[in-house]
Structure 1
Amino acid sequence: MAAQPAVIVLAAGRGSRFLGTGHKLAQRLGSATVLAATLRHAVATHLPVVVVTTEAFAETARDHVAARDVIVLPEPGTPGMPSLGMGYSISAGVSAASDASGWLILPGDMPMVRSDTMLEVARELSHHAVVFAQHRGLRGHPVGFSSELYSELVELRGDEGARRLVARYAAFGVEVDDPGTLLDVDTVADLESARLAHQGSAVPVQRV
């Protein structure tokens, strides 16, 4: 079977902008948490899924993907540990799926990104080095990287993530009718927006 792109779900951040009670990824969104809803959509693509998280959310991740596909990093702020940042999370996820034909980077706090949107981005990775979903001309997530960028992705460190790669290469935007590509749950107001958007939503399932 030919290699497919993998979805790398990033769920190891501190979530410091969320001022509600508890971590933003643990907030309820219908019958699931924010992270669980994100993972459901990722798994519904039938693409390989790797979750980069901390011990606090490892059990949630293992409820959706195989234990071998859950990469557990130290909690942010752990004494004696350097700040690993988003760049390291991306590196860890890509390294764990090194045999994939590309990687879709999806923040764990984006529970409304539909599975068909992920698949549209994945399809374009055979034609472009960097691909991102956009809605009404606005850049969103996921952002995809082809396998030719592997060596650069695994060297990422710090909080900047992959922005330099996106800026360096000609990035291709896939226009999708999916406002969820722009909705990340950073604040309490974002959470309320996600809850409103969740009402009546479904998880479309297609294959690459």
Structure 2
Amino acid sequence: MARRSGSNGEATARDIRAAATRLFAAKGFAAVSMRQIAHEVGVQAGALYLYTPDKQSLLADMMIDHLEHLLSAWDAARSDDSDPVARLQGFVRFHIRYHLARVDEVFIAYMELRNLSPENFARVERLRRLYENVVEEILVDGAEKGVFRVTDPRIATLALIAMLTGIGTWYRADGRLSTERIEQIYIELALGSLGAALG
């Protein structure tokens, strides 16, 4: 997103991104106009174009920033443990915690792919694939070491990520289970689907 210099410009850019996130998540990208985003921020519609060329660019920038931050956060959290079971457990816990803290951003990143231009889709898909590769590498390593049963690592990767990301559709902070307990259940599900025992 193009930004004006100075603290006021940076604050307005953050406000625009936050407003777009709320509106896109609540109404869908196609149903939200730039005028609505401007109204939510409290600026004239024309002022938005000081920060982004158009709504399509705004959506793409939001998705790309989300995925780049996700990859950076994983790099900081990942373990170099040689045990693929331990690495998969770490990934499950990371993915759940990261995504539950950003439900709207995650919803947009998955549900609004259809509204990206081909060029922007390719940019987003490249980053998504980098994240998917994290899981696929763990699964391949586990299969080679004989601790996972994996017929197709790519399909298994997509299935695991879809299962983990889906938590955001039903999770409630005041629900009957703690986040830690849910993480443990999902670890058991992930390992069980791969024919691995919980260590």
Q: The TM-score by the shorter chain falls in which range?
A: under 0.3
TM-score (norm 2): 0.27
Kindly indicate which of the two structures has a greater share of residues assigned to helix: 2
Q: Going by fraction, where is strand more abundant, 1 or 2?
A: 1
The structure with more radius of gyration: 2
TM-score under structure 1 length normalisation: 0.26
